[in-house]
Amino acid sequence: MTRVPVVVSIGVDAELSDVIARLRTLGLVVDRVLDPLGVVVGSVDPDRLAALGTVPGVSGVERQRTVGPA
């Protein structure tokens, strides 16, 4: 199955390292952590995408979009 790129937003009161550990147990492969922004960029199997949003401390999950020249 093809993994989908995602951007996960972490709440300001959440412990980033704890949330990332929980996301990894759900299958998220972390590519980048933008700590000052509270954002994690990675990829996950499409059937696990909705589960990422149930992790305590996660404020949002979006598929990452690629933008290029028209």
Question: Given this model, what pLDDT does residue 33 score?
Answer: 97
Q: Is residue 11 part of a domain?
A: yes
Domain presence at residue 68: no
pLDDT tens sequence across 16-55: 999 999 999 999 999 999 999 999 999 999 999 999 999 9
Domain of residue 18, CATH code: 3.30.70.80
| Predicted local confidence at residue 66, as pLDDT | 73
Residue 70 lies in a domain: no
Say what the pTM is: 0.88
H/E stretch holding 25 reads helix 16-25
3-state secondary structure of 62: strand
Question: For residue 16, what are the CA distances in angstroms to 6, 48, 57, 59?
Answer: 17, 20, 8, 12
Model pLDDT, residue 69: 76
